[in-house]
Amino acid sequence: MVPHSTIQAAEFRDVVLVVHAGAGVVGREECDPAMQDEAQRQLQAALQAGYAVLASNSFTSLDAVGAAVRVMEDSPVFNAGKGAALTADGTAELDSAIMSGLDLHAGAVANVTTLKNPITAARLVMEQSRHVLMAGNGAEKFAIQHGAETVDPSYFITPQRLRSLEAKLREVSATLQSNAPAPAQPYDRFGTVGAVALDSAGNLAAGTSTGGITGKRPGRVGDTPLIGAGTYADNRSCAVSCTGDGEIFIRTVAARTMAALVEYRSLSLVEAVTEFLTNHLAPLGGQGGAILLNQAGEAAIAFNSPAMYRGVLWKNGKTLVVDGLGRVASD
């Protein structure tokens, strides 16, 4: 069991975009202030990319979510796209999903290895196919046929993630030799990025992208690309993007559970996410967090892990970001 942590929750009004870049524990390397400064810059860039979209009536909340997530996928600081966590084989296997609150249309990809921006591929699945989830080579071939940008798999591998993998493999080896329980390393399990957005037409969207878990078995798929688990959007309730213990988020159908608490029990967003973390996630030993946004521009951010990268954009263009050390920057 993971020790239950105190839930940190906040609610906001007049919001059009919320982003997160993972919940968990900031490791020794990530405590470097320069790295945290870069994380703040990238969170601000993601919010500004989304704001540029929302400021134009030609684009939608889906466009804003895609723009914000792509910025974070392109940054080596976060565990998505470039900088993704590596499997036990030293490869990057990427998952992503996007969903429209207007009509419940959704698209997702899993275990892709050459698509530069998995969130773009997820939207292609949503709009250019009759499917919701595509995986592996089939997903890549489909996305490429519809114009997705590709890169060599080595593009995703960074020195930081290689060091994390090497440390993880050493721990596994030592554990096998000693027959001792494996030490808990929460920062190996978190780092997913995501966004939820509200456009001028009142439509919601959610998107999430991840590299998964450091040292995971090749082929493992977490909650991120599973609609209702890591990603969900419905204008009748809210848009949700999750980060945390993927297997538990799958078992609890996390994102849909929070939306259902809003829709059927009339809970506020902060009440719904707090209820989920307290009564669904923590009893199973899980840690993580979520961002939520509704049609009224009400937003909630909550997590029961020691840290969570997050950012908020208001209708007036003002922003607030919090890095993994809890440092706040506003504009």
| Residue entry with tokens 């993971």 | 2
Q: Who wins on pLDDT, 113 or 172?
A: 113
Domain 8-322 has CATH 3.40.50.920: no
Sequence-separated (6 or more) residues with CB below 8 Å from residue 177: none
Residue 57 pLDDT: 81
Strands 133-135 and 106-112: parallel
**Residue 98 is encoded by which pair of tokens?**
């996007």
Instruction: Evaluate whether 21 touches 310 at the Cβ level (below 8 Å).
Output: yes
| Confidence band of 103 (pLDDT split at 50, 70, 90) | very high
Instruction: Evaluate whether 243 touches 288 at the Cβ level (below 8 Å).
Output: yes
SS3 35: helix
pLDDT tens per residue, range 311-321: 999 999 999 99
pLDDT tens per residue, range 205-226: 999 999 999 999 999 999 999 9
Mean pLDDT of the region 115-144: 98
140 pLDDT above the threshold of 70? yes
Catalytic site residue from 192, 231, 252, 257: 192
Burial class of residue 228 in the structure, from the number of CB atoms within 10 Å of its CB (0-12 exposed, 13-18 middle, 19+ buried): buried
C-alpha distances out from residue 21 to 8, 92, 149, 285, 323, Å: 16, 18, 23, 21, 9
Backbone angles phi, psi at 309, to 5 degrees: -75, 130
231 pLDDT above the threshold of 70? yes
HSE-up of 225 (CA within 13 Å, CB side)?
Answer: 32
**Residue 5 is encoded by which pair of tokens?**
């942590």
Among the residue ranges 99-103, 179-183, 202-206, 224-228, the one predicted with the least confidence is 179-183
Beta bridge partners of 195: 19, 207
Number of C-beta neighbours around residue 127 at 10 A:
13
Q: Per-domain residue ranges for the chain?
A: 8-322
Residue 75 pLDDT: 96
**Residue 318 is encoded by which pair of tokens?**
């003002």
pLDDT tens per residue, range 251-306: 999 999 999 999 999 999 999 999 999 999 999 999 999 999 999 999 999 999 99
Sequence-separated (6 or more) residues with CB below 8 Å from residue 173: none
Note if 319 is an active site residue.
no
Q: Measure the CA–CA gap between 45 and 40, rounded to whole angstroms.
A: 9
Q: Model pTM?
A: 0.94
